[in-house]
Each structure stands twice: as structure tokens, then as C-alpha cells.
Amino acid sequence: MTYICVKFNQEKMEILVCISKTPETTAKIAFTDGGKNFDTQGVQFIMNPYDEWYALVRAIELKEQLGGKVTVINVGDAASDIVIRKALAIGADEAVRVDVNPQSAIYTAKQIAEYVKSNSFDAVFLGKETIDYNGAEVGAMVSEYLDLPYFSFASNIETDGLKSRITRDVEGGVEISEVEGRFVLSAAKGLAEQRIPNMKGIMMAKRKPLNVIPAVGEDDSLEIISYDLPEGKSGVKMIDPENMDELVRLLHEESKVI
Amino acid sequence: MSVLVYAESPKGKFKKTSLEVVYYGHLAAKAMNTDCIALVLGSTSDAAVLGKYGASKVIHVTDDSLDNFDAQTHSTAITKVAENVGANLVVFGFTANGKALTGRVGVKMNASILSGVSSVPNLENGFVLRKSVFSGKANAHYNLKKENKVISLMGNSFQIEELGSSAEVETMTLDLPTAKTVVKELKTVEGTVPLPEAELVVSAGRGMKGPENWGIIEELARTLGATTACSRPVADTGWRPHHEHVGQTGVAIRPNLYIAAGISGAIQHLAGVNKSKVIVVINKDPEAPFFKAADYGICADLFDVVPRLNEALKKFKQNN
Ligand SMILES: Cc1cc2nc3c(=O)[nH]c(=O)nc-3n(C[C@H](O)[C@H](O)[C@H](O)COP(=O)(O)OP(=O)(O)OC[C@H]3O[C@@H](n4cnc5c(N)ncnc54)[C@H](O)[C@@H]3O)c2cc1C
Ligand SMILES: Nc1ncnc2c1ncn2[C@@H]1O[C@H](COP(=O)(O)O)[C@@H](O)[C@H]1O
């Protein structure tokens, strides 16, 4: 009897966290072959901050609180292994990499959904968006493939593993919803505090499993034809600090924003 | 073949982004030689007004369970209507709910999906759209190869024009699944325009020295009718609320006017604001990187300049 009481209303959670790699923010953006391809030379790649700081850390916190397991998944080639190892060092238990370089969000989502279908999870966590292509798309697509409720831009989640109460950012405020059972969530700022991997974590990460699996289906919905650089500012006009009337005049007459 | 645009109506009212989406749908439909049909879900007072912004017809699904946002029910409703009207392009706003729906509807329609686009489709060589990538540091041109296309429009990409008169409204009822999520509460800040929609923004950073000095920023914002924002360290240390944090890890904005006082202009800050139409930078350091991204710069102590700018604006408002 007592055992049942202890377990009452609390379930272990198995969470899948989707992690992606993006160019480090200060990286110089350049293109080769007349704007056809992104020039990765000299570019350092990092784990997408929303995936690392918020989605992954909150999943680990929930595992620590309720028991269970955190698995990370990446759709990418072997160049992603470095960010996967970092996720394991921060505290994920195991990792899987779908060995393909995706060209579209829908193809990425399809790979993640297929993995969830053959390995059941209680929840799927993603970042709110990748900081390179800023699509904020994959989460919605994964939830559609799995026919699960989706909470985009979550800044808070309380759960006992069965019933969850989630706060999501909307324009000018927040929306608080409740859901029973499985769901997909994308993480925004506020969901957790960043964790820095320690030496022990880094050592342990080397022994944790990283399974590489093949991709399914065709990636045929989108292609990037070319890139270009946006026109820059034509140069700053310096205004005399004593003459704010002049600035107001320019804002009104020249740039017509007031 | 037609273009279907989803016009969001939170609390029964259309936002500026909803009108932009309708206007964009009209431009896209013109390029594709077809009609733009607007879709409204849930209760709203004046669906016909969308005709002014380019909808040739408005479909209004009146089921009031749709007043509660649930991505599964909403995407089902939108997909059914798209099938009904034979739409092969569906357009959303790049808003919180638009982002939750674009991917879902796209998957249901087996479509090519692209978020945050900023151009009208170019049909010369396929179906090509532009979107800004790498936090505004470049544009990418995509070809959408599937028969069906589902896209979302980056806010402030087009200047809305009023085109016609009100449109014919067709009300529709649909068989919809019951929502699995229950919205308990919607808490929004009243009185000010939320940052993602604000046309005028006054922002400040660590140069303010402490939260007790924010009075001059708030006063300037009040004079202009602007929304306030801040840099990340300011929000992180609790000087200002989190929802004011703009930049790569905060809110990305594209107002007409962005005034930045005491912000250095780090690349991660610029990533969220560099799409503003006009940028004014107030900084006492002539080497501050922000001046390179600015249209107008004032190199001086912000504690002198901000009150003086406020006075000048008040004078201007009285005379105009
Ligand atoms: C992964 C990552 C993501 C990040 N995301 C963001 C983000 O989303 N948004 C963001 O803002 N930052 C972000 N940052 C932080 C960013 O790199 C900068 O550290 C931050 O923007 C600096 O804030 P600040 O300009 O307010 O402060 P500071 O860099 O300290 O600049 C203060 C400025 O005020 C000026 N000043 C001081 N006193 C006065 C005065 N009396 N009058 C006039 N000027 C004065 C100084 O000359 C200086 O230029 C991120 C960093 C990382 C690593
Ligand atoms: N290649 C990928 N592998 C695994 N997860 C990904 C990948 N790309 C994107 N994601 C996840 O989807 C989220 C949203 O990405 P996006 O829709 O591209 O902005 C990211 O924050 C990740 O959590």
C-alpha cells in the first residue's frame, strides 16, 4: 500500500530533446560560388542556444525531479557530434543522430517524428527557433506528424508527468494552458537557467551511447537557389547634441517616421 | 487554384499583422493570377472589413470553440477550408499562433513550407520567395517545389494600402475535433502596444546605470507613444521586465523608429533590431559599434540628451 502512495500522481518522464547546430553568433556570414552556398570556412558551430539553455536543461530538471530519461536527437551529419557530446556532458542520458544533412524543416521533422513513433516518449522538447534560419517550424510539424498538442514558446512548465500546466509567450503577454498526457513543446527564454558542463559530465559523456541511424523518405520540398546580403545603412548622420530640434525635424521630414 | 490567408482575430479584433497578411495575399494572388480569400475563425465583429485590404471574399467559421486557441483544432479548420476553396497557397502571419499553425497545416496539405517570407512569389523560375536568414545578416531565395505551399509573412515587410470596399462574407460551420488543451488564462499587458507590433520603440541599456534612472526613458516613450525595450543584461539583472528584452535571444522587432540609449550595439542585440526602418543611437562613446548600424547618431551623455530630446518632441507635438 505505502509503495502505491509514494508513486501516487507522479510519473517518470521520458523526454526527447531535439538539438541543432548553428553558426556561432559573431561568425562572419559569407557565400561561395556566386551566392549559391554558405561559406563554412572558419565558422565555429555551437548548439542552438534555445535548445541548450532552455529545452535541454528543463528536460534534465524534470528527469531529476520525477525520474525517467532524457534522450537527445539531432538530424545532421557527423559534424554535429560535437554538439551532441556537449548535450550529453550537460546531462542527457543518450543520443541519437539521424545521418543526413536536411534541406528543409519538414524533412527534419519527419525524421524526428519517425523516431518518436518507434520509441515512445512522454514529451518532445525543442528550441523556439534556430538562430540561423529562424524558422520556428520544426516543432509544429513534429506535433502534426504525431497528432499531439503543441505549446510553442513555452516559458514555464509544471508537470507531475501526467498533467501539465504550460505558460507560452504570445504577443504582449502569456497564455496559460493545461494538458493531459503527451505533448510537444518549444522552449523560450525563462524555461530554465543555462547549465555549464563540468569535468565529470564531460568525462561521462564519452561513455554515453550515441546511435547513428539512417534517414527515411525524400527531402524534396524546398531548395535554396541563392543567398545575398541585405543593403546596409548608407551611413550614420551625426547630430549636434545641443540641437535636438534638428533630430526631430529629420525624423519628421527626412525619414517620415513621426 | 486560389490564395487563402488566415486573418487572426484575438479577442474578436484584427491586428495590424492580420491586415498585412490580407494585403500580402492580394499581392501574391495578383502575381499568380487568382483570387485572395480571407479566413476568420471564431467570433469577430466585422469580417467584411478585410475586403478593404484586398480579400475578394471572406470565409467566417463561426464556431465559438475556436475563440480558444488550440493548434490542432485551428489547423484542422484551416486545412478543411483550404481544401474547400481549392487553395494551393495558404498564408499566415509570422506571429506566435501563426508559427504554431504554419507547420501543422503544411504537413496536412503535404506542402512546401516556408516561414518568415518577405517577398511576393516570383514565378519566372518555379515559385521563389525571399526570407531573411542568419539574424538579418543575409537573405536566402527559396524555390518551393510542391504543388501546395504554406508560408508565413514576416511582419512589417509591406506597407498596407486600402484597396477596395468591404467584401462578401460567407459563414461556414465545420465538423471539428474537440480541443485537447484547455486555455486557463490569457494575460496580456493592457494599454501599450506589444513590442512585436510596435511602430515606435524607445530602448535603453546598461548605460542607464540603474533601474531608478528609467524615468527619462519612460517619459520619452510616453511623449512619442512608443513601447519601451531594453538590452539583455538589463533584463537579466532584473532592472527591467523580461518581456522588454530585444535581440537574438529576446524579441525580434522591426519598428519604424528604434531609439537606443546607452546600448553598445553588440551583434546579438543588433540581430533583433537591425530590421528597424530608422535607428537613432545615443551613446557617449564615439567608438560604440551601434553607430555603424544607425541612421542618426548623437555622441553625448544620455542623461543630458534624452530629456532634451523629450522637450524637443513635446514642442513638435504641440505644433503638429
Ligand atoms: C549567445 C548570446 C546571446 C545574446 N543575446 C542578446 C540579446 O538578445 N539582446 C541583447 O541586448 N544582448 C544579447 N547578448 C549580450 C550582448 O552580447 C551584449 O553583452 C549586450 O547587448 C550589452 O548590453 P548593453 O549594450 O546594454 O551594455 P554594454 O555593452 O555595457 O553597453 C553600455 C553602453 O552604454 C554606453 N554608456 C554608458 N554610460 C553612458 C551615458 N551616460 N550616456 C550615453 N551612453 C552611455 C557605453 O558607452 C556603452 O556603449 C547576447 C550574448 C550572447 C553571448
Ligand atoms: N537538424 C535538426 N536536428 C534536430 N533538431 C532540430 C534540427 N533543426 C531544428 N531542430 C529543432 O527544432 C527547433 C526549431 O527549429 P526551426 O524550426 O528550424 O527554427 C530547434 O530549436 C531544434 O530544437
| pLDDT class of A56 with cuts at 50, 70, 90 | very high
Q: Report the gap between the CA of B257 and the closest CA in chain A (Å).
A: 6
Residue B58 alpha carbon to ligand 2 centre in Å: 35
Distances (CA, A) of B269 to B169, B272, B297: 44, 6, 17
Q: Is the pLDDT of residue B34 over 70?
A: yes
In this predicted structure, what is the pLDDT of residue A10? 62
pLDDT in tens, B272-313: 999 899 999 999 999 999 999 999 999 999 999 999 999 999
Region B84-109 average pLDDT: 96
Sign of the dihedral through C-alpha A153, A159, A161, A163: negative
Question: For residue A70, which amino acid is it?
Answer: V
- The answer to whether the beta carbons of residues A62 and A68 sit under 8 Å apart is yes
Please give the angle made by the CA atoms of A101, A104 and A109, to the nearest 5 degrees: 90
In this predicted structure, what is the pLDDT of residue B280? 98
Q: In what helix (H) or strand (E) does residue B28 lie, and over which residues does it extend? A: helix B16-32
Which one is predicted more confidently, A156 or B1?
A156
| pLDDT class of A5 with cuts at 50, 70, 90 | very low
Q: Is the pLDDT of residue A54 over 70?
A: yes
> Following DSSP, what letter does each residue of chain A receive, concatenated?
-HHHHHHTT---EEEEEE--EEE-TTPPP-EETTTTEE--TTPPEEE-HIIIIIIIHHHHHHHHHH-EEEEEEEES-GGGHHHHHHHHHHT-SEEEEE-S--SSHHHHHHHHHHHHHHS--SEEEEES--TTT----HHHHHHHHHT--EEEEEEEEEE-SSEEEEEEEETTEEEEEEEES-EEEEE-TTSS------HHHHHHHTTS-EEEE---S---SEEEEEEEPPP----PEE--TT-HHHHHHIIIIIS---
Q: Which residues of chain A are within 8 Å of residue B312 when distances are taken between CB atoms?
A: 244-245, 247-248
Q: What is the mean pLDDT of chain B?
A: 94
Nine-digit cell string for A109: 521533422
Q: Which of the listed residues B203, B248, B309 should we mutate to test ligand 1's pocket, taking the one with most ligand atoms within 8 A of CB?
A: B248
Burial class of residue A46, CB neighbours in 10 A (0-12, 13-18, 19+): middle
The four Cα atoms B102, A55, B17, B12 give a dihedral, to 10 degrees, of 90
Q: Is the pLDDT of residue A232 over 80?
A: no
- C-alpha A14/C-alpha A213 separation (Å) is 20
A51 lines ligand 2 (CB under 6 A): yes
Of A208, A169, A219, A190, give the one whose Cα is nearest residue A87.
Answer: A208
- The answer to whether the beta carbons of residues B53 and B16 sit under 8 Å apart is no
pLDDT in tens, B147-202: 999 999 998 888 899 998 889 999 999 999 888 888 999 888 777 888 988 999 99
Distances (CA, A) of B277 to A186, A255, B60: 30, 9, 35
Which one is predicted more confidently, B38 or B17?
B38
Q: Is the pLDDT of residue A48 over 60?
A: yes
Of A199, A211, A252, give the one whose Cα is nearest residue A71.
Answer: A211
- The answer to whether the beta carbons of residues B189 and B287 sit under 8 Å apart is no
**In this predicted complex, what is the ipTM?**
0.89
HSE toward the beta carbon, residue A153, CA cutoff 13 A = 20
| Number of residues that this document lists for chain B | 320
Q: Which residues of chain B are within 8 Å of residue A151 when distances are taken between CB atoms?
A: 181
Region B135-146 average pLDDT: 94
B155 lines ligand 1 (CB under 6 A): no
In this predicted structure, what is the pLDDT of residue B249? 86
Residue B231 alpha carbon to ligand 1 centre in Å: 6
Distances (CA, A) of B73 to A144, B42, B66, B113, B276: 11, 12, 8, 20, 35
Q: Is the pLDDT of residue A6 over 50?
A: no
Name A237's Cβ contacts closer than 8 Å, sequence gap at least 6.
A250, B295, B296, B297
In this predicted structure, what is the pLDDT of residue B165? 84
- What b/e string do you get for A229-242 counting C-beta neighbours within 10 Å, with b at 16 or more? eeeeeeebeebebe
DSSP helix/strand/coil, B319 = helix
Region A160-166 average pLDDT: 95
In this predicted structure, what is the pLDDT of residue A26? 84
- The answer to whether the beta carbons of residues B42 and B11 sit under 8 Å apart is no
Say how many CB pairs under 8 Å bridge A and B.
261
- The answer to whether the beta carbons of residues B280 and B298 sit under 8 Å apart is yes
pTM, two decimal places: 0.90
Which one is predicted more confidently, B135 or A101?
A101
In this predicted structure, what is the pLDDT of residue A2? 37
pLDDT in tens, B213-270: 999 999 999 999 999 999 999 999 999 998 899 998 888 899 999 999 999 999 999 9
Chain A residues 23-52 with a CB less than 8 Å from chain B: 23, 25-26, 29, 31, 49-50
- The answer to whether the beta carbons of residues A167 and A201 sit under 8 Å apart is no
Q: Which residues of chain A are within 8 Å of residue B181 when distances are taken between CB atoms?
A: 149, 151, 177-179
- C-alpha A149/C-alpha A160 separation (Å) is 17
- CB of A216 within 8 Å of a chain B CB? The answer is no
B75 lines ligand 1 (CB under 6 A): no
Reply yes or no on domain A4-213 having CATH 3.40.50.880: no
Q: Is the pLDDT of residue B22 over 90?
A: yes
Residue B17 alpha carbon to ligand 1 centre in Å: 30
**What percent of chain B clears pLDDT 90, i.e. is strictly above it?**
80
Q: Is the pLDDT of residue A224 over 90?
A: yes
Q: Report the gap between the CA of B286 and the closest CA in chain A (Å).
A: 10
Residue B205 alpha carbon to ligand 1 centre in Å: 6
Nine-digit cell string for A241: 547634441
Please give the angle made by the CA atoms of B131, B136 and B142, to the nearest 5 degrees: 20
Region A80-107 average pLDDT: 97
- C-alpha A147/C-alpha A124 separation (Å) is 12
Of B103, B149, B115, give the one whose Cα is nearest residue B4.
Answer: B149
In this predicted structure, what is the pLDDT of residue A4? 39
Q: Is the pLDDT of residue B89 over 50?
A: yes
Q: Report the gap between the CA of B203 and the closest CA in chain A (Å).
A: 16
Residue B262 alpha carbon to ligand 2 centre in Å: 34
Which among B73, B108, B134, B154 is the top mutation candidate for probing chain A, defined by the most A β-carbons within 10 Å of its own β-carbon?
B134
Closest partner residue to A132 (CB to CB) among B114, B134, B181 is B134
